[in-house]
Structure formats: structure tokens, C-alpha cells
Chains A and B, each alone.
Chain A
Amino acid sequence: GFFVWRLRNTGIPQIPCRFVHLHRVANDRLITFQYFNFLKRMYVTQCNKDLSQRAKPKSDSIVSPFRELQQLDQEKKVVYKISPVSPVHQSWSETSSRNELREVKSAAETEDSVIPVGGESREDRRWKEMKVQLDDLPGILARLSKIKLTALVVSTASAGFAMAPVPFELTCFLFTSLGTGLASCAANSINQFFEVPFDSNMNRTKNRPLVRGQISPLLAVCFAASCGIPGIALLTLGVNSLTGALGAFNIFLYTCCYTPLKRMSIANTWVGAVVGAIPPIMGWTAATGSLDAGALLLGGILYSWQFPHFNALSWGLREEYSRGGYCMMSVTHPGLCRRVALHHCFALIGLSTVAPVLDITTWTFPIISLPINLYISYLGFRFYRDADRSSSRKLFFCSLWHLPMLLLVMFTCKKSVLEKEDKGDLRGGSHEMALEIRLP
């Protein structure tokens, strides 16, 4: 305790740091659980009917704010439409609005049948006016920017920020999160702008706003610009120019490299993995201002994680990719697909072991993370060997909880700045927590 007091008197702003540190550990857990639940809801509803019996009841219990918004807005829209049309249609619209609610609940991110165009409700078969309804707009923009994916991206950036060995600064953290979030919204909007006819033909994506004509392409581009430009400006001016440059580069990589490449070569998966690896690097550079080994390690972990995650997911979508003209490993090079997934599971073990060597975490990290890394590697091996639907799904769902858990363990095993300076005193990561609690 005394040692810490002395440091405080020398002017290093440790007090807010420690409080927030403690608070953030709790928040991080909360955040990861929230994200896990988000993910679970999102992905469980994406199961095919024949695969998971639990999918249907899960989708009914979803209480996502965006879904509720959509339901209310759809209802309002139906009511609005009744007035210009004759009152005979009233009863029909009521039942269709009920169908609509059901459809909206399950359709937003559902892959509910193997047939290319399945599961339409009566509402879906109606003609709709192409006028922007202002109260629908938030929901539409949320879906355009893939808000849930953006939230995940921001959380990986926060993980990068949290792992950086510097005192925590709240404003910097907020600027980084906001800037990264805006950049991700912009990139996702442009991606949807490019992919309208392809999205229409795939079950997973056929309910996107541009596909349904809820918003014009011009508005989508303007929205992207109004998110991207302030986002990058915020990162460059409010954080540092390195983070801003990485953000701009990531937008470029995702929209101008990954999106067109998806239809040209299987190399798109590697480019996409880099896109996923950059946000934590951005978080780290935002905190430290430089690109050191720790940033690259964290990026490396995210990079390797993308492969078991995406390759397992793409295994079940081979028919849609084939028809839609997407060049994915799972379609053209199935053996490579499974091999790469397995190799990167092993790489995760390796990278976890390198973390303490680079002084980012203590040696407890590779030990504690070994069980989950071994488990995902085991599932990767099963996928490699069996190459069937069930093993791919198991691997995919494992990847969904594996990453948040790994980042959480990494954070709790983070080598504190104090510990590095005073190597003799403390014995392990667990002491870090005790130290913080002792502070008033």
C-alpha cells in the first residue's frame, strides 16, 4: 500500500486509473456477457430448421431494442397506409401486421429455410412505398451499419486499449470507442451499398435495408460519409494520427479490397482476417501512441481467431455462396478450408504463450487459457476430420464464446505497470486485483 501511495504523490494519475480499472473489470465482464448474449441470440436464430430445435423458441424471447423499434414502426406504417386505401383492407392489414411482427422478429437475422427464397409473410409480399419514414430511420440505419457487429468491433478495440500497459484515460478511451464505432458503421454501410443484388439472393442477407428499398443508395452513401469522416477525424485529432490512419486504412481494406475480392478469389478470407485484427491494434495505439509488439500480438490473436470462426460458418453456406458467385474456400478448396481453421486454432495456443514473453501478461495467462484453447483446437480437429455440418456448427459456436473468454482472461492476467517496475514484490496476476481493492 505504501509503495502505491508514493507513486501517487509523484504525480502519476493513478487514482482515477485504479478506480476505473476495478470498475472496468466488472464492466468488462458485464460487457462480455452482454455481447455473448447478443451473439447467442443473433446466431442461434441463424440456425437452419433441421439443425437446431431450440432456434425457434429462442427467437421469440428476443428483446432487442432494435427489434422492438421495428415492430412499433411497422405497426405505425401499416396504420398510415390504411388511410389512403379503402377501409375494406383494414382487417387484412391487422392480420398482416401480426404476421409482420412475427416476420420481423424472425427475419432480421434469420436463415430459416434452405430454399433460396423462403419464409415470406403476407407483409413481405406487399408493395411498399419507397419513401423514408422518419421514425423508421434509426432502425433502418442500425441495420445498415450492422450495429451489432459494430458493437463487437468496438469491444475488441476496447480490449486492445485495456491491454495496453499505460494508465487508463477515460476521454481517450471514449474517443477511441466512438471513433472506431463510427468507422465501422461507415464501412458496413458501404459494404451493403456494394452488395445489393447479391444480398437479395442470399437468405441470410435478403432483409437488409437497401435490398428492401427502405433507403436509397444515395442516403446510404451519405450516411456512410457522415459516420466515416467524423469517425476518422475524431480518431486522428482526438486520439492520435496513427490510430486515425489505421481506422481509415481499415475502412479502405474492408470496402475496396475485401468486398470486391469476395467475388474474385479465396484470398478474401485472409484480407478479412486482417480487417478483424486491426481494431484491437487501434485500441492499443490509441492508448500508447505507438505500434509495439503487444499490439501486433493482440492483432495476431484476433487474426487467427477469424479462421476457425469464418471457415466453420461458411461450411454451412456452400450452396448459397456457390449460387451467389462468392469465392470461398469452403466451396472451392474444402480441404484447405478445414486445414487452415485447424492450424489457426493451434496458432492461438502459440500466441497465448508468447504473451507473457512480451511482458503483456503474466505466466498465468497461457496456463489458464490452455483449456479453452485446447477445446477449440479439439473442435477444429473434429471439423478437419469429419468435415460435416455438426462439427462445423460446434466449432462456430465455440468460437463465439471462446474469443470473449480469452480476452477476459487476458485482461485479468494483465501485467500491471507497477508489477513490471517492482518485479520482486508481487507473485502473480491475482495479486493485481488485491492491490486495487486495497486502495480507498
Chain B
Amino acid sequence: PPAHSHSDWIGPPDKHSNLRPIIFYVPPEESALERRLREARQEAQASNQRFWARHNRAFRQEKEEFIYSRLKAKGLEMRDESGQKATLNAEEMAEFYKDFLTKNFKKHLQYNRDWYKRNFRITFLMGQVALVRALRWLRRRKKSVEQ
């Protein structure tokens, strides 16, 4: 993002987590409230990134392992004659999907709880910051009208 910009910038989705990273703008006169908001957003972003990157990596890895073990059981290689990657059909993959979902169920419950809490907190802080900014703007306008 350009140096003179006064807003946050959001980037393309991350390769592992599919989440879009945000670069937060730090205003020179950042109030304590605004700093709390920014830090909360940064922390949430980092935590989300960690979770999804790890989770998606695990998914791809386990999927590969599953395909490999199934193909081996059938006596096939990972790549056929033309060099294409051999895949299993949807019904065979369904077993993997079901297993993966049930295995990660508790992890997801925990993540959901954390995500909802963070989301509410960040939005509430955003509301507070917006309110303070609006009041400040009104006060400034009143002062300039009086002068």
C-alpha cells in the first residue's frame, strides 16, 4: 500500500488459509481505544490465519494419504501412464470427507466459540470508535461555527 494512504489495505487470499490479509493503518494520533481495536483485529487475523493454514494443510495432506492408501490397496500407482494424477471417485472420497469432518468436530467447535467472541468484540470496539469519532467531529464543527 502507498505510504500516504490513510486507510487499511486488504490483499489477495492467502495460499494456505484462503483468508485475505489486512495491513492496518496506524494513525499518528491513535487513541487508546483505537489501538485496542487495531490490536484486537491483528490478533484475530493472526489466529484465524494460523488455524486455517494448519487446517487446510492437514486436509490436503490427509487427502493425499487417503488416496495413496486406497490406490495401493487397489494395486494402482499414484500416476497412470499419461502422467495424470490418479483420483478416486466421489463415493470413495465421501468416506474420507466423513472421517475428516468427524475427526475435526471438536476443533471446529472450539474455533467457532473463539471466532464468535472475537467477531463480536471487534465489531463492538468498531462501534465505540465510530461513536467517539462522530462526537469529536460534531464538537469540532460546533467550535468552528462558534468562532
Q: Which residues of A contact B (CB under 8 A)?
A: 84-85, 116-117, 120, 124-131, 193-194, 196-197, 200-201, 206, 211-213, 216-218, 221, 260, 263-264, 318-319, 321-323, 325, 327, 331-332, 334, 387-389
Contact = CB atoms under 8 A, between A and B. Distances in A.
Contacts of A193: 119, 123
Contacts of B59: 322-323
Contacts of A211: 20
Contact of B8 (A130, A200, A318): A130
Query: Which secondary structure dominates chain B's binding surface?
Result: helix
Contact of B56 (A116, A131, A334): A116
Interface of B: 1-2, 4-5, 7-13, 15, 17-20, 22-23, 48, 52, 55-56, 59, 90-91, 93-94, 96-98, 100-102, 104-105, 107-109, 111-112, 115-116, 119, 122-123, 126-127, 130
19 contacts: A124-B12, A128-B10, A129-B1, A194-B119, A197-B19, A200-B17, A200-B18, A200-B19, A201-B56, A211-B20, A217-B123, A221-B123, A318-B97, A319-B97, A322-B101, A323-B56, A331-B94, A332-B98, A388-B91
Contacts of A129: 1, 5, 7-9
Query: Which residue among B7, B13, B127 has the maximum number of chain A CB atoms within 10 Å of its CB?
Result: B13
A211 B14 CA distance: 12
Given A197-B52, A319-B97, A323-B100, A117 B18 contact: yes
Contact of B10 (A116, A130, A260, A264): A130
A393 to B, nearest CB: 12
Nearest to B123: A217
B102 A127 contact: no
A263 B123 CA distance: 22
B91 A387 contact: yes
B126 A218 contact: yes
A22 B100 CA distance: 55
Contact of A127 (B10, B90, B93): B10
Contacts of B96: 322
Contacts of B97: 318-319, 321-322, 331
Given A130-B10, A200-B20, A218-B130, 5 more contacts: A194-B116, A213-B20, A319-B97, A322-B96, A327-B105
Contacts of B12: 120, 124-127
A117 B11 contact: no
A127 B11 contact: yes
A130 B7 contact: yes
A100 B103 CA distance: 39
A323 B5 CA distance: 37
Contacts of B56: 116, 201, 323
Contacts of A200: 13, 17-20, 52
